[in-house]
Chain A
Amino acid sequence: NAGVTQTPKFRVLKTGQSMTLLCAQDMNHEYMYWYRQDPGMGLRLIHYSVGEGTTAKGEVPDGYNVSRLKKQNFLLGLESAAPSQTSVYFCASRTIGTGETQYFGPGTRLLVL
């Protein structure tokens, strides 16, 4: 099993450009999450999904959109990138239940100039 994979690993964007980050999991997990991690801020939830075809906003959703068309994939889109979106983005997934483990991907490093 590959677990949780993220594409791309690193990207540089210019302000105003758009891009999509792809997360894939092969563990048949229902729940999937997108976080951003900034120095001194910890992990902050952007959007999440509790199942195929569903999405919900997290703590910092502005400037991002998501889609969960297939159970194994969770896409994070930036329609018009801003320098404030420079960050490391992590995807995670887990199965249903209280206290279940979240499995994280290796991260995508995004630099917006």
Chain B
Amino acid sequence: TQLLEQSPQFLSIQEGENLTVYCNSSSVFSSLQWYRQEPGEGPVLLVTVVTGGEVKKLKRLTFQFGDARKDSSLHITAAQPGDTGLYLCASGYSTLTFGKGTMLLVSP
């Protein structure tokens, strides 16, 4: 089973700040997914990255897949309170292994 390490575990910032969270593994990812989970709800898929070096943008969110496909990052520009939530990375074929997540709190 592939182990996914996410950092930081917790991040508290002010509205308007930029931030980056990371997902790393000791083995190669076949593909990697990023989910966001808002308080009291189930996770919702943000993006899937497949190709090494791939960069995907979703409004103010930029996802990058490492060239060696062992790491990924999520960068948020000008964070807003609505970005508050648990950000999870996951990888796998028929089943997914999830990282423990980064809890992001954006204060007004």
* Chain A residues near B (Cβ < 8 Å): 4, 31, 33, 40-45, 48, 50, 58-59, 90, 92, 98-99, 101-102, 104-107
7 further A-B pairs in the complex, CB-CB below 8 A; given A45-B95, A101-B48: A42-B98, A90-B43, A99-B30, A99-B31, A102-B45, A104-B44, A105-B42
Would you call the interface of chain B mostly helix, strand, loop, or mixed?
A: loop
- Say if the beta carbon of B26 comes within 8 Å of chain A: no
Q: Scoring B residues 69 to 108 as 1 if CB is less than 8 Å from chain A, else 0, what string do you get?
A: 0000000000000000000101001111111110000000
Contacting pair B88 A43 (CB below 8 A): yes
Q: Scoring B residues 12 to 47 as 1 if CB is less than 8 Å from chain A, else 0, what string do you get?
A: 000000000000000000110100000011111100
Question: How many whole Å from A38's CB to the nearest CB in chain B?
Answer: 10
Contacting pair B45 A31 (CB below 8 A): no
Can you show 11 pairs from A to B with CB atoms below 8 A apart?
A41-B100, A42-B99, A43-B98, A48-B95, A92-B42, A98-B31, A99-B30, A99-B50, A102-B96, A105-B42, A106-B40
Cα(A25)–Cα(B27), bound, Å = 33
